[in-house]
Amino acid sequence: MRKMWLPWLFLGCTCAAQTVDTATPAAQPPAPKRQEQVVVTGTYTPVPLQETDRSVDVFEVNHSRLFYTSPIDVLEQDSSVDVQQRVPGSNADVSIRGSSFEQALILVNGLRINDVQTGHNNLDLPFPMEAIERIEVLKGSGSTMYGSDAIGGAVNYITCPPEHSEIRLGAAGGSWSTNEQYGSLSYASKRIDEQLAFGREASAGFMPDRDYRNLAGSSETDLTTALGRTALIVGASDRPFGANQFYGPYDSWERTKGWFTGLTQDLGQQTSVAFGFRRHTDEFVLLRDDPAVYENNHVTDQLQLALRRFEKLGKNTRIYYGAEGYRDTIDSSNLGQHQRNQGAVYAAVDARALGRFSLTAGAREDIYSGGNAQFSPSVAAGYWLTHRLKLHGNVSHAFRLPSFTDLYYHDPANIGNANLRPEYSWDFEGGLQATFSNALTAGLTVFHRNDHDVIDYERSNINAPWMAENIDQLHFTGVEASLRWQAPKRQRVELSYTFLNGVQGSLMGEQTKYVFNYPVNNANVTLWSVLPWHLQSRFRLAALQRYQRDAYPLLECAVTREFKHVHPYVQLTNLTNTQYEEIPGVPMQGRGVLAGMEVSWSGK
């Protein structure tokens, strides 16, 4: 009985959401309506959310800064996304539809940011939350568009030029001596837009050796010339933190730094080029009080170039094609010095009769060091049964190259494997999207993924070291359900539930380290409300049950009041004081509170 209560909780919350009090008027909605959203993730050209044939979710961030502590918190509203945090706002893993954290691709404005050393650093974003406009999540394979790593899906952090000149400054303090400061300075004109942003957060930690300091800053420039749009983003971050229990029973310490430059240049209306460079450093000390015992230092450089173009064939058909190149290098005290080069070409055709039928078929060939290659085809289609009901489906192939840690890492407890084969996967999904009215939408999707040569660490007993190996086969089958209701009086209810079942191939009694930590049941209810006295709130109730572990609830709430220039706010986390672990052996913090104030001056 215990394993069956999460689906009933989701159903009960759906009914309970219909009783929301909507009698209080409001000056502004607590969050923007979701109609007329345009997505760029999982598509070759921006399309309205209703027209995409892939499972994509969109989270507006710039309108909701006072409701979240970090961009990582935004992802927790999607029941198909599993966020496993160690340090708030920085060191965390993310999986999509039961994937490993290495199988989820992280993008910034469509440019890859996955760390080639280890996927544990994928969410170590080199810019502050104040730079983010929205987050788009592609669920399901994405290698045809993005190459390696997008087996479970992709998370795309999108920055946008400011709509008007503005200054924002904020500060907050709370539990465990947490304090933060943040701000942005924006300038907008007809031809050039500029935004500078920064964020700083520090905490003593809720337990010994779990303190942290996060510092990040960014600059984004958007320029319009005769060639077209030029978009440049530059960001940097510095995040030291106590790593108690993160990688074993040690009072460890770690410091990561990141630098990122991304440039996109239009060459007319049909051609664009993109450039990205990322440097990341990772310093790890096994015993914080005695660094001489064991220490690792890693420096990775990642360079990417892309050329993209499309051609129009008639009124409703386009052909997209392009080429991409990558170079990844590492200089590590443990892993050594290595380099990997990779090139890719792709082509796709997109045909659609808007409001009735759409079809996208594409293929990509990736060639990487040593002459090896991966071919990734995909087909996605949609059909409107009526103007309110749409069927959609997708079949796609994806792959992941081993990280440098998978290949070369070694210590007494973990040993890499230079002979690892790339992972590959086939993904199938079909769903129904219903638009009952402008205020009420719902969706139901069934998906199945066949993973082959999955990379994980195995051991025969608890006294043996973990060895990196290829697991022959893993199968994941799941169901996603969602409901979004823009209620009267500017209230909004969002519900999502995901059920997931994983089946492994034969491991002959071996223990595995990562792949069987996925959520079997995950339910989320988020309520945006306008309260008396013009208060605005976000309330989220989540219930999650991991594979062969007990279920646990999480409850959080944020309340803000917007005056003309001053915006006080309070964020409450883990209100039930639940004792839980997202990563085995790493306890998470209990009940916490953060209170702050933001001031702004706008040129609107």
Range scoring the smallest mean pLDDT among 28-32, 192-196, 508-512, 595-599: 28-32
4 has pLDDT over 50:
no
Distance CA 95, CA 530 (A): 33
pLDDT bin (cut points 50, 70, 90) of residue 50 is confident
Answer for the pair 165, 602: CB distance below 8 angstroms, yes or no: yes
Per cent of the chain over pLDDT 70 is: 92
pLDDT bin (cut points 50, 70, 90) of residue 72 is confident
CA distances from 383 to 120, 392, 554, 591 (A): 39, 6, 38, 46
Token pair, residue 266, equals 């239009």
Per-domain residue ranges for the chain? Answer: 2-602
**Looking at residue 190, what is its pLDDT?**
87
584 has pLDDT over 90:
no
**Looking at residue 511, what is its pLDDT?**
81
Answer for the pair 414, 248: CB distance below 8 angstroms, yes or no: no
CATH numeric code, 2-602:
2.40.170.20
**Looking at residue 192, what is its pLDDT?**
94
**Looking at residue 374, what is its pLDDT?**
95
pLDDT bin (cut points 50, 70, 90) of residue 63 is low
184 has pLDDT over 60:
yes
Mean pLDDT, the chain, integer: 89
Answer for the pair 475, 96: CB distance below 8 angstroms, yes or no: no
Strand partners, 56: 138
The count of residues in the chain is 604
Helix (H) or strand (E) holding 128: none
306 has pLDDT over 50:
yes
**Looking at residue 7, what is its pLDDT?**
40
Distance CA 211, CA 241 (A): 6
* Predicted structure pTM score: 0.92
Helix (H/G/I), strand (E/B), else coil: 566 = strand
Distance CA 208, CA 203 (A): 11
pLDDT bin (cut points 50, 70, 90) of residue 488 is confident
Nearest alpha carbon to residue 455 among 140, 150, 101: 101
295 has pLDDT over 90:
yes
Q: Could you read off the pLDDT of 248-294 as tens digits, one per residue? A: 889 999 999 999 999 999 999 999 999 999 999 999 999 999 999 99
Distance CA 138, CA 156 (A): 8
Answer for the pair 450, 475: CB distance below 8 angstroms, yes or no: yes
